[in-house]
């Protein structure tokens, strides 16, 4: 299952604008060989794993990060770049944790965006961060839902930065007649996700963490001194943190792994439009996302392209198969882009939980995992790393808040999970037609 998912993920990244617009070091991090001994072994060199590494180094702990590929290979290097407060399904927190717990979780999500901004500044990460985020409604029935969400965020969860935009106002911000209303958040924003991830990796190395690439974990021997084994080496440590999310493989127990499903999402990038034409599409170049179940999200890049994403799938279809479909969705929003050429199309797997809330927990007192960011990982992974490091240091209140969330497994087992998910997604697509 893991090898098959990795193979599909490799196919999805072959025409990535993000990979084409960065310069990686000539040599990857070394392969893990032989025996190593540290305080903390982190599995996964994406946002979450690198955040754990940075936070642990700040507390004086020695750290090794191992990855089956290289930093930013997974979702951290191919996502939509939206950096936003809140969660994929905010009401779950209030339902399970009560109003006080929901407010505390929301405050940590705001801290997550602040942490992204702080790390960009502290480590000089050139990742094109642009403030501003618009959540929009495309259908009359979605307008009350959007208004209710804004009122909950403001009055119940303590976030007072949002402003309501009626039809005229949202169309003044977005040069499209598709949207009926919107909510503007000046604090959230968007960035180049791979540049940000590679910047975190550089920061982790500078802070003294050891990174190893092309070293898939084949086994974790649990106990008072866990041993993380790869094909050519092993790490003996005091703590383990599993941060591989959708493509972590068989590292986690089956009942924990079954709480997330890998959902493929796709993005296209247009040719550069030039500064004037790009500026005319979205005032201030805010990121945009609608509030449908199968959502569209888009933004303008620093080099004046439209990056347009959506079209969730549990099967991992080729971006080339879906390029024309996503292009059509883009032109539905912006008919004025009908003449524009698509230069890149790529995708990746989002780790989604059934309730779309993040799943943080511990298998043993010294073996932590974080997964299930459900499309909100750019900011939430930073906080995940912080609360894991705090828990390792005996300060577990923040980690325990998230660990209280109850998660159900996806049905069908690894073999049938994809077909079962595809049926469920078809049902929701039919609902969206009405």
Could you tell me if 104 and 87 are in contact, meaning their C-beta atoms sit under 8 angstroms apart?
Answer: no
Using alpha carbons, select from 14, 386, 25 the residue that is nearest to residue 202. 25
Residue 98 near residue 204 (C-beta atoms within 8 A)? no
Distance CA 72, CA 79 (A): 10
194, 335, 320, 345: which is closest to 269 by C-alpha?
345
Q: What is the CATH number of domain 15-79+194-260+355-413?
A: 3.50.50.60
Region of 86 (left: φ > 0; alpha: ψ -120 to 50; beta: rest) is: left
Give ∠ CA 76-87-286 in degrees, rounded to 5: 70
At residue 10's C-alpha, the angle toward residues 7 and 13, to 5°, is 155
What is the per-residue pLDDT for 294? 79
**How far apart (Å, rounded) are the C-alpha atoms in residues 11 and 417?**
21
Q: What is the pLDDT of residue 416?
A: 46
Whole-model pTM above 0.95?
no
Q: What is the mean pLDDT of each run of 10 residues along the chain (434 residues)?
A: 69 91 89 98 98 98 97 95 95 95 97 98 98 97 96 96 98 97 98 98 98 96 97 97 83 91 92 98 97 91 96 63 90 98 93 93 97 94 98 97 94 56 43 47
- 81 sits in the region (left: phi over 0; alpha: psi -120 to 50; else beta) called left
User: Tokens 């540049």 map to which residue?
Assistant: 195
The pLDDT value given to residue 424: 47
What pLDDT is stored for residue 316 in this prediction?
56
Contact 252, 351 (CB under 8 A): no
Angle 389-390-391 (CA atoms, 0-180°, nearest 5)?
Answer: 90
CB 102 within 8 A of CB 94: yes
């Amino acid at each position: 299952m893991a090898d098959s998912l990795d193979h599909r993920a490799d196919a999805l990244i072959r025409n990535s604008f993000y990979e084409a617009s960065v310069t990686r070091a000539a040599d990857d991090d070394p392969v893990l060989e032989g025996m190593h001994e540290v305080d903390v072994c982190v599995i996964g060199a994406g946002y979450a794993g690198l955040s754990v590494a940075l936070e642990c180094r700040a507390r004086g702990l020695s750290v090794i990060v191992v990855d089956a590929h290289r930093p930013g290979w997974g979702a951290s290097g191919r996502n939509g770049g939206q950096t936003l407060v809140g969660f994929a399904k905010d009401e779950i927190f209030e339902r399970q944790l009560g109003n006080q717990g929901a407010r505390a979780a929301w405050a940590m999500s705001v801290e997550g965006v602040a942490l992204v901004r702080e790390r960009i500044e502290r480590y000089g990460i050139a990742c094109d961060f642009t403030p501003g985020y618009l959540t929009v409604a495309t259908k009359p029935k979605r307008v009350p839902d959007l208004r209710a969400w804004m009122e909950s965020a403001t009055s119940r969860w303590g976030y007072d930065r949002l402003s309501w935009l009626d039809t005229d106002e949202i169309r003044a911000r977005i040069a499209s007649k598709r949207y009926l209303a919107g909510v503007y958040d000046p604090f959230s924003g968007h960035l180049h996700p791979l540049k940000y991830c590679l910047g975190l990796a550089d920061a982790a190395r500078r802070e003294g963490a050891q990174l190893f690439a092309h070293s898939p974990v084949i086994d974790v021997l649990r106990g008072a001194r866990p041993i993380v084994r790869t094909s050519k080496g092993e790490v003996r440590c005091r703590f383990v943190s599993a941060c591989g999310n959708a493509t972590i493989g068989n590292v986690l127990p089956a009942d924990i792994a079954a709480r997330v499903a890998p959902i493929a999402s796709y993005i296209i990038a247009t040719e550069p439009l030039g500064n004037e034409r790009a500026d005319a599409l979205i005032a201030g170049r805010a990121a945009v996302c609608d509030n449908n179940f199968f959502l569209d999200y888009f933004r303008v890049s620093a080099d004046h392209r439209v990056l347009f994403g959506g079209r969730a799938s549990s099967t991992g279809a080729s971006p080339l198969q879906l390029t024309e479909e996503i292009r059509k969705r883009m032109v539905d929003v912006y008919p004025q882009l009908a003449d524009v050429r698509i230069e890149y199309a790529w995708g990746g797997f989002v780790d989604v939980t059934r309730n779309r809330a993040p799943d943080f927990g511990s298998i043993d007192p010294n073996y932590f995992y974080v997964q299930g960011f459900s499309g909100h990982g750019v900011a939430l992974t930073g906080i995940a790393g912080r609360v894991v490091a705090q828990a390792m240091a005996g300060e577990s209140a923040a980690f325990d808040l998230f660990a209280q969330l109850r998660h159900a497994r996806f049905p069908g087992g690894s073999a049938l999970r994809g077909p079962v998910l595809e049926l469920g997604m078809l049902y929701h697509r039919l609902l969206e037609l009405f």
